[in-house]
Structure 1
Amino acid sequence: MARRSLKYLLNRYTLSFRNRIVVIAVGMVICLLSLVYTNRMAHDLREKEQHDVEVWAHAMEQASRDAFGGSVNDPLIKGILSNRNNIPFIITDERLNVIQSHLVPREVLDHPDRLRRQIDRFTEENQPKTVNYWWGPEHRHIIFYGKSKLLKGLYLFPYVQLGVIFFFIFIGYIAFRSSKQDEQNRVWIGLAKETAHQLGTPTSSLLGWIEYLRSQPVDQEAVEEMNKDLTHLLKIVDRFSKIGSETVLQKATVNEVVGEAVMYFRKRIPRNVTLDYNGLAIAPIEANINPALFEWVVENLMKNALDALQGHGSIDVRLSMDDQNVMIDVKDTGKGIPKSNWKRIFEPGFTTKTRGWGLGLSLSRRIIEEYHNGKIAVVESEPGKGTMIRITLKRFFDA
């Protein structure tokens, strides 16, 4: 039942994830088309402005046939120029003496060096147009012109648009990541609650059977061991039920909490596996923890270490501390983890086992990082030699 519930929740999450990917992909395509279209508009506008200037030049040449030496002041030419008043230009003679200008500041025109730089900029933007007059090739005017404000805006717009797009992509990524994490949290919380619910009925029944066996002429030592396992199972049910609920932290001695998990685990490991623990031989270390959930994490790390040993090897659980933190290291001599998977093993659903859901280390990280404000990570591992995972928590100091 729990496995079917997990499958349903995961399928629902996967569908939601795919829908978001489709929306992002469609948005990116629309943005790309917009960029291409804007660039095309800018290209067309530039060609139009260049064509307009060519028309002006031809119009000035034509007007010179009817107005000897006075083409620039001819009303027709002025009309043509004024109708295209969004293009900055400077008209000079061959010696670069300014004859007429438009949209060029007076302080530029009055300063020879600045005027020259402005002419050079116009030349870089567009090829100057030469107006040849009918009375002789030595009489020519030159039109230096630049890009209109509209054209400059269109050229600049794609960069602004890209900036806006990347900004919204960044915001979308943050929102998506947060939404994705919320979805995952709902999946794992739902699974944990469902698991606790499913285990509730059989554990209650087992409690009744334990009481019955205590009244029967059977090996009571075996019954007591069964009771210890049932008590541990009840702890697990209680831990699952706490996932998603408000977690209460309290001052506790880390040595003792970890020691209880080690002592329970030590009686249930194969003979060819050794389990060492140094916590009971060092000074007490205190931290704010939820003992039930923290003990669960330690058990889960030892269980993973045991699976990695495949029946023989050693597990070493060690406590250490510095001025601010307490470190709990669980080290094994098992098959090891490739470095590419050091972070992936804490992702929901990731597992290298033929059986399992890949939830243990994911829930462990959630308990340590979100509930205890600590850290959990692989600090060393090598295929064929073993792995060490470290939990880091802030120490508790009396005020």
Structure 2
Amino acid sequence: MNPYEKKRRWKFFLLIFAIVIGTASVFYSDFFVKKMEREERLQFQLYVKVTEQSLVMYDDGNYTGLVDLIRTNTKLPVIMTDAQGQILATQGLDSTKTNYNLEKKENITYDPAYFARELRKMKKQHPPTAITGLDGSKWLIYYKDSSILTQLRYFPYIQLAVIGLFLLTAYVAFSSARKAEQDQVWVGLAKETAHQLGTPISSLMAWVELMKSRFDAEDDPLIAEMENDIRRLEVITDRFSKIGSKPVLEDHVVYTVIQDFIEYFQLRTSDKIKFSITGDDQVRAMLNIPLFDWVTENLLKNAANAIENDGSISVNIIENLAKEEVFIDVTDTGKGIPRSKFDAVFQPGYTTRKRGWGLGLSLTKRIVENYHSGQIFVKESEVGKGTTFRIVLKSSITYEPTA
């Protein structure tokens, strides 16, 4: 199992573990909420019975005992109305909204809209309980959940949201720190590689010149190919030296750049693989040749490795006039990629080869997106038939360098 698969599996297990903890927390809180709801319901039923008994005691029309009883109910918000919905008494609500006048023995309401609003809330939460009033008419008693119960009901969701936000912030922070550390390692390794390659390349150039002069081989095709490979090594060294610094982009004909590299690469690939390039041969884009050749090389190498026997690799260049973009499609007739792996192929360490490092497409994505302000993705693929990668670049007219 490659490192990317292991990391993804660990992420999956941690996600499942977090979901289990969150679900358990919600269910555990829900258990207490339901228990508290039952207790408040019993408290309300007891309150109704006491109220009925109080009405029997004060059947002479004196409401003092009834009102006093309601006023002492400080735990449960309650409103009592007559059959027409007129509020007779309240308790457990905002004390600043009403006042009880002991001399007149009546409620003086300061904010009728507040009590009407609270009554609507109670009607939505629980059905009323009917009792027989002093005059024989039906009275209705409403109640709503206490503030503690309401807070307890929403607490686990707020808790999960806060924990989720904290974990997301921590994940982003650690990922950014890890990415910065990885970038430093990449840059250091690349520059050291460029430095180490410099000396042997210079020696090889000197040896080639010595062979040409000693054996009078100025026009020898083998020497010419050796020089091509040495120049290729110089380009590779230049690539590594540019990692970590902002590359210079210049206006180039995309078709010509890709064709030049295919001519070099084709001579060093199996004769069973046929190469072709089609499309618009005049469209232009801002490119850094050493780095963009690296992109082309990685895509062509992957395509060649995917072809087990005979096959073909084609590059098609399309200009999207509507969006002023350049599409570069690299298609092979290899073994294809499962749809579930379309994104995974660009992850560092992902490879299907026993000796592969899984860095080629990761580097390709970095070069296209970070240095050329473009996109690269698997356009289409079918197992056993082949794959098409698409590169999207802005044409030279609309290119705006990344800050």
TM score, norm. by length of structure 2: 0.72
Equivalent-residue separation in structure 1 for 2:267 and 2:212 (angstroms): 22
Aligned equivalent of 1:245: 245
Shift of 1:231: 1.4
**Deviation digits for residues 49-74 of structure 1, max 9, x if unmatched?**
34444554565567678767578523
- Length, aligned pairs only: 376
**Deviation digits for residues 41-94 of structure 1, max 9, x if unmatched?**
5445434434444554565567678767578523xx766543433522234689
Aligned equivalent of 2:40: 49
Classify 1:49/1:71 alpha carbon distance in 2 versus 1 (closer, same or farther; 3 Å): farther
**Deviation digits for residues 219-255 of structure 1, max 9, x if unmatched?**
6622332222121012112112212211221222223
Equivalent-residue separation in structure 1 for 2:130 and 2:38 (angstroms): 14
- For the 8 Å contact 1:349–1:359, the answer to whether it is kept is yes
SS at structure 2 position matched to 1:340: helix
Matches of residues 263-302 of structure 1 in structure 2 within 5 Å? 263-278=263-278, 283-302=281-300
Classify 1:67/1:172 alpha carbon distance in 2 versus 1 (closer, same or farther; 3 Å): same
**Deviation digits for residues 238-290 of structure 1, max 9, x if unmatched?**
112212211221222223322221121122222222222347xx643321111
Aligned equivalent of 2:64: 73
Aligned equivalent of 1:128: 129
2:79 maps to 1:100:
no
SS at structure 1 position matched to 2:64: coil
Matches of residues 1-399 of structure 1 in structure 2 within 5 Å? 35=26, 38-39=29-30, 42-57=33-48, 59-60=50-51, 73-74=64-65, 81-91=70-80, 100-102=89-91, 103=93, 118=119, 121-122=122-123, 125=126, 128=129, 143-165=141-163, 178=176, 181-182=179-180, 185-186=183-184, 188-217=186-215, 221=220, 222-278=222-278, 283-323=281-321, 324-397=324-397
RMSD across aligned positions (CA): 4.5
- For the 8 Å contact 1:93–1:99, the answer to whether it is kept is yes
- For the 8 Å contact 1:325–1:393, the answer to whether it is kept is yes
- For the 8 Å contact 2:266–2:275, the answer to whether it is kept is yes
Equivalent-residue separation in structure 2 for 1:201 and 1:311 (angstroms): 38
Amino acid at match of 2:235: K
More displaced stretch, 300-309 vs 376-385:
376-385
SS at structure 1 position matched to 2:393: strand
Shift of 1:372: 0.6
Shift of 1:126: 6.3
Aligned equivalent of 1:4: none
**Deviation digits for residues 80-112 of structure 1, max 9, x if unmatched?**
5434335222346899886533349869999xx
Equivalent-residue separation in structure 1 for 2:296 and 2:18 (angstroms): 45
- For the 8 Å contact 2:247–2:371, the answer to whether it is kept is yes
Equivalent-residue separation in structure 1 for 2:393 and 2:121 (angstroms): 66
SS at structure 1 position matched to 2:300: helix
Aligned equivalent of 2:100: none
Aligned equivalent of 1:3: none
The gaps in structure 1 that reach 5 residues or longer are 1-6
TM score, norm. by length of structure 1: 0.73
More displaced stretch, 313-322 vs 184-193:
184-193
Shift of 1:308: 2.0
The gaps in structure 2 that reach 5 residues or longer are 98-108
Classify 1:126/1:189 alpha carbon distance in 2 versus 1 (closer, same or farther; 3 Å): farther
- For the 8 Å contact 2:208–2:223, the answer to whether it is kept is yes
Aligned equivalent of 2:106: none
Equivalent-residue separation in structure 2 for 1:330 and 1:141 (angstroms): 81
